[in-house]
Amino acid sequence: MKPNKKNYCYETLKHRILTLDIEPGSVLDETLIAEEYKLSRTPLREIFQRLAGEGYLSLEDNRSTKVSSMDINSMRDFFQTAPLVYATVARLAAENASASQLSQIKKIQHSFSQACKQGDVENMSMHNHAFHEQLGVMAGNNYLTPSLERLLIDHTRMSQMFFKAKNEKEEMVIGKAKHHHDLMIEAIEKRSPADIVELTLEHWELSQNRMEQFVRPDPFPIDNESYNTANLIKKSKT
């Protein structure tokens, strides 16, 4: 089995899940996927196990393989946890980032900006995913990284709606989100943890309401205690 064939299947399934080509909660037909990617059952199951370990899939004994759901319980956990993890990751990124890591996030931001200009929703969401993933690389914390990566799965799936602007006001929100990224990079260059934490929380507020609309028509309120804790992170560094 050629590694690139197996990796292609792994990366493509990830992409399809993140872009909602395969919807949350969908049952994966092992036979059809094996035929589609020309893989035997053993390497495909290894891919499924890897994706399950990363949070993309749910595997249960004697049951079907499913794409991770976005039910009300998982979304409650998401909205409680996201600002805490994002703020802490951003602070550590500003403290620990190397020159090569900074160069990489600038390249990602350039690609994200180009996608915004073109109104390319899929590429906007994927480059946004890469931007926040790179912040995790810069943070360099082995305990936070798995939490960040799991959050980004659902964040990126919801961002399919966030980046699909229907009017001028929504286009302005996307533009502000892009500007936040630029300011975050500046804060990292200045080694200013307090600035980037404040920006990260503003960035979270900007996207929160529209992400809630993805979950259900009525707002899904963030847990105030969790949000206040995130603000404490910010204040402790000022």
Express each pLDDT in 10-65 by its tens digit: 999 999 999 999 999 999 999 999 999 999 999 999 999 999 999 999 997 777 89
Write down the pLDDT at residue 208. Answer: 79
Closest CA to 200 of 167, 233, 163: 233
pTM of the predicted model, to two decimals?
Answer: 0.86
Spell out the residues 6+ positions from residue 94 whose beta carbon is closer than 8 angstroms to its own.
187, 188, 191, 192, 193, 195, 196
- In contact, 26 and 67? CB cutoff 8 Å: yes
Can you list the domains of the chain with their CATH numbers?
Answer: 3-67 (1.10.10.10), 72-236 (1.20.120.530)
Give the three-state DSSP class for 57.
Answer: strand
Structure tokens at 46: 């290894």
The sign one gets for the Cα dihedral 131, 133, 136, 137 is negative
At residue 218, the pLDDT reads 38
The bridge status of strand 65-67 relative to strand 27-28 is: antiparallel
